[in-house]
Copies of this chain bind each other. A is one copy, B any other.
Amino acid sequence: MLLRDLGEWELLKRLAIYAPPGQLDDDAALLVERAGRTLVVNTDVLVEGLHFSDATMGPADLGWRAAAANLSDLAAMGCQQVVGLTVGMVAPGDTPWAWVEGVYSGLSEALVRYGGVLLGGDCSGGAQRLLAVTALGHLGRGAIRRGDGRPGDALLSTGPHGLSRLGLALLLQELPVQSGAAMIPALAERAVRAHRRPRPRLDAVAALAVSQPPHCPWRVGGTDSSDGLLAAVAAIARTSGCQALLQRGALPLDAAMAGLPEAENWCLSGGEDFELVLALAPVWAQALVQVLPGASLIGELRATEAGTTPATSVLWQDSDQPVTGSEGWCHYTKKAAPEDGLQ
């Protein structure tokens, strides 16, 4: 059995037996330290040709992105304070120093913006450029777990989805001429920025704490939408043993993007938006929307019905039809993942 036949979902399932039960279920790992403080740890690998390319971003963008993607996983776990990063960098010997300098400048920019320092790392030669970043942070008021959603929870997105995929399309010039030509410059700029300089939503974790209603215990299901909004909702639904219902009219789209024919698909499956998708008590979700500009309610969780399969874990609320996305990506085949778009 080769990795490309196994797929990443099955691979992660098989690797889970080497870790304590449930340890690999979430975006990041929690370590309870003395004095009640909890450390959050996450590792991400970015490989040239799969996760980035010179065609779509410069080295400083890449450094920012590598940091931001990792910090997004910390935020998705409930982290409010970044401690720092270690960076494993692999690059062939003919890589210019200027590239390395750009990458570390971008990493530093993100650390200045979001807190934390470069803690250490390792450098090596290799066939291909890649970054393996480990981020460390401290948990805020409580953890956010994929499996902590419950029937009756509201589903909330901290911001619009699809912008990063639009940015990629613009950078790769893959957009049909009429869409590209009609695009307002401000949207194009926003989209490219979303792709190159994503923001980890540590601020949303702070807003979550601020908006927690009195007498409402801390229980928040959630993950980030690095693999796409649909993948995030599906992961919460399945891990929480629920079905998710999405409101088609409430898809979190940038308003200026709504006219594009690709808008709905990219919103659901474009990926790399790095927003948080949360499942929580409706009263809390309403309160969070009040204090977090850009956040919106997108649906709800309900108890799983008999016969629910992975393919029916996310349904349209109005029609009860499965929500399908078209753009999953499998890192081992360089092809769209046939099954469910989970990376």
Contacts and interface: CB of A to CB of B under 8 A. Distances in A.
Interface in A94-140: 94-98, 100-101, 104-105, 107-108, 117-128, 130, 132, 134, 136
Nearest to A46: B124
A88 B43 contact: yes
Nearest to A121: B43
Given A23-B117, A128-B128, A86 B18 contact: no
Contact of A120 (B41, B91, B96, B130): B41
Q: So how many copies of this chain end up in the complex?
A: 2
Given A90-B47, A117-B19, A118-B19, A97 B41 contact: no
B2 A96 contact: yes
A63 to B, nearest CB: 9
Interface stretch (A24-32, A245-253, A266-274, A301-309): A24-32
A331 B93 CA distance: 8
A21 B95 CA distance: 26
A326 interface: no
Given A35-B34, A126-B50, A87 B43 contact: yes
Contacts of A107: 18
A289 interface: no
B45 A88 contact: yes
Contact of A3 (B4, B8, B50, B100): B100
Contacts of A119: 19, 23, 29, 31, 41
Contact of A12 (B33, B123, B136): B123
Nearest to A128: B127
Contacts of A35: 33-35
A177 to B, nearest CB: 33
Nearest to A8: B123
Interface in A279-337: 331-334
A342 to B, nearest CB: 12
Given A4-B93, A24-B118, 19 more contacts: A2-B93, A2-B94, A2-B95, A14-B97, A18-B104, A18-B108, A23-B120, A31-B83, A34-B34, A41-B86, A41-B134, A43-B120, A44-B122, A45-B122, A47-B90, A47-B125, A88-B88, A126-B128, A127-B127
24 contacts: A2-B95, A3-B92, A3-B93, A3-B125, A4-B93, A8-B123, A14-B97, A15-B100, A15-B121, A18-B104, A20-B117, A23-B120, A24-B118, A29-B86, A31-B119, A34-B35, A41-B136, A43-B122, A50-B124, A86-B134, A88-B132, A93-B334, A124-B331, A125-B333
